[in-house]
């Protein structure tokens, strides 16, 4: 798909209720954005067990040449999406000097609009946000053929959230409590087409 083609599709999706409804956005918001009491459930243990057995496959070392080139050039374009002003500032400060933060958005709908205009390489995306949640936004970006890699940044460690996030085609899932140590490698791995999951998810 040409650049003009996916830009046009993104602009249509950002303003069309029909597309949003097609992803059952209300259902996603009700299910995924409900406050979850984090417990060490059997399913969570099973998920962490699977991740633990494939630690090296899930979080491989970023390709040195790719990482060096991306950081040295400063041309890696990142869009930060979170409904919390403090989180957006923290992430922007963390990435300052490493990547080019081209913009920030407070919800999924605005993220789609900015993605069409700014062409980021990486979208750092929260899950629970007003207007349009991160899962629905990631699905719309993928449906439109947008080439940006998605790295989710969330406080949720429930396996249902993790499964839903990766089902969108995202390449990273970073816990907010580990943002300083986990987000930079997650971004570099995503750029290289590889998955990253916060190691803290397996420490149970």
Q: What is the pLDDT of residue 65?
A: 52
The alpha carbon of 124 is separated from its chain's Cα centroid by a whole number of angstroms, namely: 5
Q: What is the pLDDT of residue 42?
A: 34
Evaluate if residue 81 carries a pLDDT over 70: yes
- Residue with the bigger pLDDT between 203 and 3: it is 203
Compute the mean pLDDT over every residue in the chain, rounded to the nearest whole number. 77
Burial 106-134 (b: 16+ CB within 10 A, else e): bbbbbbbbbbbeebbbbbbbbbbbebbbb
Considering the chain, what percentage of its residues have pLDDT values greater than 90? 60
Nearest to 75 by CA among 6, 123, 13, 121: 121
Q: What is the pLDDT of residue 64?
A: 45
Q: What is the pLDDT of residue 71?
A: 53
Residue 151 in contact with residue 186, Cβ under 8 Å?
yes
Q: What is the pLDDT of residue 51?
A: 47
Tokens describing residue 114: 């900015």
- Altogether, the residues listed in the chain come to a count of 204
Q: pLDDT band for position 202 (50/70/90)?
A: confident
Of 33-42, 162-171, 174-183, the range with the lowest mean pLDDT is: 33-42
Tens digit of pLDDT for each residue in 101-160? 999 999 999 999 999 999 999 999 999 999 999 999 999 999 998 999 999 999 999 999
Evaluate if residue 79 carries a pLDDT over 80: yes
In this prediction, residues 62-80 reach a mean pLDDT of: 66
Q: pLDDT band for position 49 (50/70/90)?
A: very low
In this prediction, residues 23-30 reach a mean pLDDT of: 40
Q: How far is CA 171 from CA 3, 108, 167, in A?
A: 22, 18, 10
For CA atoms 150, 154, 157, 160, the dihedral sign is negative
Tokens describing residue 69: 């080139």
Residue 53 CB contacts under 8 Å (≥ 6 apart), including other chains: none
Q: What is the pLDDT of residue 78?
A: 98
Q: What domains does the chain contain, in order, with CATH numbers?
A: 3-202 (3.40.50.2300)
């Amino acid at each position: 798909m040409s650049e003009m083609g996916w830009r046009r599709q993104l602009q249509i999706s950002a303003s069309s209720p029909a597309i949003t409804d097609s992803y059952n956005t209300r259902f996603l918001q009700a299910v995924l954005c409900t406050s979850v009491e984090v417990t060490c459930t059997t399913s969570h243990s099973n998920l962490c067990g699977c991740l633990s057995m494939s630690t090296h496959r899930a979080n491989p070392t970023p390709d040195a040449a790719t990482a060096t080139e991306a950081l040295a050039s400063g041309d890696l374009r990142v869009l930060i999406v979170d409904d919390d002003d403090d989180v957006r500032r923290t992430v922007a400060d963390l990435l300052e000097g490493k990547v080019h933060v081209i913009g920030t958005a407070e919800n999924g709908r605005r993220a789609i609009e900015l993605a069409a205009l700014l062409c980021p390489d990486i979208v750092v995306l929260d899950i629970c946000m007003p207007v349009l949640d991160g899962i629905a936004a990631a699905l719309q970006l993928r449906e439109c053929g947008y080439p940006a890699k998605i790295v989710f940044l969330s406080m949720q460690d429930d396996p249902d959230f993790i499964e839903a996030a990766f089902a969108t085609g995202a390449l990273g899932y970073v816990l907010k409590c580990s943002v300083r140590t986990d987000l930079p490698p997650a971004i570099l791995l995503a750029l290289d087409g590889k998955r990253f999951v916060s190691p803290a998810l397996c420490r149970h």
